[in-house]
Structure 1
Amino acid sequence: MKNKTVIITGASTGIGKEIARYFITRESNVIMNASSEENLKKAYEELGSPANAIYQVGDISKRETGQKLVRLAMEKFNAVDVLINNAGVFSPKPFLDVEEQDLDLYWNVNLKGTYFTSQAVIPQMIKQQNGSIINIGTVLVDHAIDGFPATAPLTSKGAIHALTRQLAAEFGKNNIKINTIAPGIIRSPLQGKIGIEDADSLAGLHLLNRIGEAHEIAEAAYYLATSNFVTGETINVAGGHTVGHAI
């Protein structure tokens, strides 16, 4: 991935920031995106303001944000090799309490964000006859939990899983690989945001009896970015979350 250009959305905190770190240290050209300028600038500086990275603020639910990211990539690095659609929102809420505004939030940020940003990069990848798009889903699409009702965000993530397969079918002939990473419980600021004070208390949901670390998602993203013969797949990085239960 040296000198390859990677766009990462939601790169200011948690998993996205760790993915950015992972690629930056391996000499990729990285474009970091997030909706908060303050958080994005802070993350960029915490990573050492690297010369092989640049950041672009923008709401990925808006079509123009993806277009701006592609323009910046072409101006600075003259290619778009990898897109990592990491930006997203997620929070539990009982089904009967979900309102239209909840659905709008998750579908706009999670699904439209992934959809529009992918639309923005694919024309350049077609020109290059090469590219990789990595979406972030969730194991909860395949492993529902009664005590964690989250139909609103889950429907948007489930749509991303389906989108991955269809895009892989449409653009395989252009040597564009599209895959999804479905994380289990990962140590990140998201846990606190949704009211989980002790993320390690959820270790038992995984057969390995621990939660995951952000760098483990970054490792999976790097593998998919470098793989030339994997497409249309959903890779569970979840410590056995979907495989079985320890009782």
Structure 2
Amino acid sequence: MKPQDLIVFEDDDLVALNKPSGLLSIPDRAGKDPSLKELLQQVYPAVFTIHRLDRETSGLILFAKNAEAHKHFSQQFEGRKTVKIYNGLVMGSVPELSGSIDAPIAENMVKRGTMLIHRRGKQALTDFNVLKDFKIYSWMEFRIHTGRTHQIRIHAKEIGHPLAVDTIYGDGKPLYLSSFKPKFNLSKEHLEERPLLNRLALHASRLKIEAPEGHWLELEAPLHKDLKATLQQLEKMKK
């Protein structure tokens, strides 16, 4: 994988990429699997982490190209001045077309590496809009005002509509065309059906952030093929 193929915006201070699902943002403690930062370091003399995405989440992620830019952009994330928009496919039909989820998130002390809603947690606020209701699934837009670990995933679960193919907070089952297409027939070339979507249905779509010069950057990462194909098939079913 070439990091150049993932770049959606670049200038002297910043490089923005469209991260695939399954790729780490930065190296983990084990250090066995490749990360996006390590790939970038093969191309750029200096790369600074501004923020992260979950391994399973695809979409827009930013890295600074110098220390001054790193400080400038990191302070905006810490001060909650950035506008962060995600898209996700959730289970079921969401009755409220828009709303906010204000529920504190804490680490699960029993199951390490996971989070839960708890009064001892840190404040977490997520706005949501239903963009398409496919009845069995809903295509959503989320804006997060805080950046808690697994925030959208656990807030989606909190309202009773976990993200599709979420192995921690949902059922984790891959999404197959046969599950919602009544007259589905497997082609002769294939012995078994391949899933339409076999990863977390969450994508960091858009981000608005102020550049060091004072103007606002509005960045966008297109959907990857698997999510785009899933939405196309759901649209066909709806018709």
TM-score (norm 2): 0.31
Greater per-residue helix proportion: 1
> Rg: which structure is higher?
2
TM-score (norm 1): 0.31
Greater per-residue strand proportion: 2
